[in-house]
Amino acid sequence: MFFRWDWLRPVLTAPIVPTIGPVHPDALTVGIFEDIVRAADTGDFLPYDKDRRWGGKKDEKVLRSDMVHQPEHTLIPTLTRRGRGIVKVFAYRIRDSVVDEAAELAAKLAAAHDVNNARVVRPLGPETARPCGTRIQLKDFTAAPFPAPDGPVRPLTDWPTAVQDTFAPFAEAMAGDGLAFLHTQMQAGQCGPVLAAAIEDRIVGAIGPMEVRSDAIGRPQLMPQYFAVLPEARGQGLGRVLWRAAMHWGQSHGAAYQLLQTEVDGPSDRLCQAEGLTSLGFTHTTRA
């Protein structure tokens, strides 16, 4: 055992797990933290890791020998070699004083592993006043039916071929939102369906891939999607229609819930708040 649950549980102010991301509160157990540490030795994906669907090897790993686990706080550092590399230290503690210690550890480990970036990730509770960073939100599909919305949205493959052919330039235009990466996965046949919105025979918005997989305790979860609407097509409600179509797809394909991460006060955040999602807390990331 790497962790004492009686030490760790009181400081888990938001359900965020290093290398895994947000998890359902019911899945937030000592077992999932034990799993991420064991996985650091093998480089394999855990069965419930959302990134497993992209194939290859797990890039981010816990730096097990550098963890700090004490009665009042826990620091879990991770290392990613992708790009220029990054060290993150997940700082679990209720008091603000943990940030300085976490920053010092992150800077030291970045130098030791010869990477350029060091970050501190601090989970914050849903009651946080004036939050910033990223909000963790929960959509519960078991609470009520979620009907299909009206609007020009359907699976991409259901659009005429000429409309489908406009997806490539749309994806390239929205590369900053991950759509170019998604398009490469679609071309390789390595992901689920994508829902697309078209106006005047041109794709102007999309959300996907649509996939349901089991979480750490075996509950079916609608996996996170890439989601974008062309700037010139915004303000017409297409984002809301796309999102509602995705939620309807998830519920109708057996998902019990979805977790989303949204930039606080950003367009997606305001949409999710207006749609009545439950806020589970926040993560605030700073440079070390």
What integer pLDDT is reported at residue 42 of this predicted model? 86
Per-residue pLDDT reduced to its tens digit, 114-129: 999 999 999 999 999 9
| Alpha-carbon distances, residue 275 vs 15, 138, 171, 244 (angstroms) | 21, 11, 26, 9
Interval 62-91: pLDDT, tens: 999 999 999 999 999 999 998 889 999 999
Give residues with Cβ within 8 angstroms of 250, minimum separation 6: 139, 141, 210, 212, 222, 258
Task: Give the pLDDT confidence of 40-49 residue by residue, as tens digits.
Answer: 988 889 999 9
What is the arithmetic mean of pLDDT over 210-236?
96
Name the phi and psi angles at 284, rounded to 5: -120, 120
Average pLDDT over residues 95-99: 83
Domain positions in the chain: 5-131, 143-255
pLDDT for 206: 98
In the prediction, which pLDDT does 56 show? 81
The answer on pLDDT for 150 being more than 80 is: yes
Residue 252's CB is within 10 A of a number of other CB atoms, namely 13
Counting residues of the chain whose pLDDT is more than 70, the rounded percentage is: 100
* Average pLDDT of every residue of the chain: 94
CATH code for 143-255? 3.40.630.30
pLDDT at site 185: 94
Residues 6 or more apart whose CB falls under 8 angstroms from that of 258 comprise 138, 139, 141, 221, 222, 223, 224, 247, 250
Inform me whether the pLDDT recorded for 258 exceeds 80.
yes
Determine how many CB atoms are found less than 10 A away from the CB of residue 149: 16
Q: Where are the alpha helices (DSSP H) in the chain?
A: 5-8, 30-42, 98-112, 161-164, 167-173, 179-187, 238-252, 267-274
55 burial (CB, 10 Å; 0-12 / 13-18 / 19+) is exposed
Please give the radius of gyration of the chain, using alpha carbons only, rounded to the nearest integer. Answer: 20
User: What's the mean pLDDT in 257-271?
Assistant: 93
Quote the pLDDT of residue 89.
Answer: 98
- Per-residue pLDDT at 97: 82
